[in-house]
Amino acid sequence: MLRELRRVAAVHDITGYGKCALTIAIPVLSAAGVEVCPLPTAVLSGNTVLPNFTFLDYSPYMQAHLDHWQSLGLRFDGVYSGFLGSVEQIHHVQRLIRDFSSGIAVVDPVMGDDGLLIPVYDREMCRAMQELVASADYVTPNVTEACLLTGREYRDAALSPAESEEMCREIAELGCGNVVLTGVQREGRLCNCGWAKGEGYFERSIELLPFTQHGTGDLFTSTLTAGLIRGYSLVEAVDSAAAFVRLCMEEGQLLPDIFDRGVAFEPHLYHLRSGVYQE
């Protein structure tokens, strides 16, 4: 008989077609046995890689959304945020962490990729994201975002172990304590480099696939969050997320319109029923 159901507040946009954000976070966390309460940041008709998508900014409604939750006395075992489009939205996540959470906070500091900054991010936004990272327990930057958080100039994703360790440690010292630096490429392998509070630096690597699919970053962090909420260690959650993303990419690569529709994880969700990926 079920005696516990852990609950996460997920702060992301919701996209009708082209999987990302909440359309990944909700099913992945649910499959892992975690209740998801979404706080949308925006509603889109399609992923932003697609032409002519529609966009509705949910910012004017987020405070009322949180006020209602507060009136209900809601508490969460975790807060999980992804792309945030304004300083105001960042402040809403800080409120969630401060006033609603008795568990962990996972922040994916979505600011850019491949050395390019997302257009809405200026100096003020980057500074606000640094403050949000400082209030998190776990953060999952890619190399571009790690450079922004540490004040480094981006060169490429081929970091040495020493460079990766230094960046992870500096981000952890902002206050979050635990870091997973994603997307490091080294000798044909994809490395997830981490800093675990009280344990220090670690690396986990997997073969680099010769193709990409959108939504894999959200799939990785959603799977990672599921493992952490279910009580697994950071290394166990990293291994789970990397293995699950690879499986979904490989199995779905021949599907029609795979680039537009995004990574096909749905047929494989049963692998997460224990909270982490199991074959």
Mean pLDDT value of segment 206-235: 97
Residues of the chain above pLDDT 70, percent:
100
Counts for the chain of helices (H) and strands (E), in that order: 9, 11
pTM over 0.95: yes
State the pLDDT at residue 73. 96
- Strands in 200-207's sheet, in edge-to-edge order, are 55-57, 35-46, 7-17, 76-81, 101-107, 138-139, 178-186, 189-196, 200-207
Q: Which residue's entry shows tokens 């969630």?
A: 96
Reported as a single tens digit per residue, the pLDDT across 46-87 is 998 899 999 999 999 999 999 999 999 999 999 999 999 999
Contact 79, 11 (CB under 8 A): yes
Residue 268 pLDDT exceeds 90: yes
Biggest alpha carbon distance in the chain? 53
| pLDDT(240) > 90 | yes
What fold is seen in the domain 7-272? UDP-N-acetylmuramoyl-L-alanine:D-glutamate ligase (3.40.1190)
Residue 209: per-residue pLDDT: 95
- Continuous segment of H or E residues that includes residue 229: helix 216-229
Domain boundaries of the chain, sorted by first residue: 7-272
DSSP state of 167: H
pLDDT one-digit tens code per residue, 151-171 = 999 999 999 999 999 999 999
Look at residue 9 in the predicted model and tell me its pLDDT.
98
Closest alpha carbon to 115 in 73, 158, 178: 158
In this predicted model, what pLDDT tens digit does every residue of 204-220 receive, in sequence order? 999 999 999 999 999 99
Given a cut of 90, is residue 270 above it in pLDDT?
A: yes
pLDDT digits (tens, 9 = 90+) for 5-17: 999 999 999 999 9
Segment 105-139, tens digit of pLDDT: 999 999 999 999 998 899 999 999 999 999 999 99
Q: What is the pLDDT of residues 21-46, one digit of tens each?
A: 999 999 999 999 999 999 999 999 99
- Which pLDDT does position 49 carry in this prediction? 87
Which residue type sits at 263?
V
Average pLDDT, the chain: 96
Q: Residue 1: pLDDT band by 50, 70, 90 thresholds?
A: confident
The pLDDT of residue 24 is 98
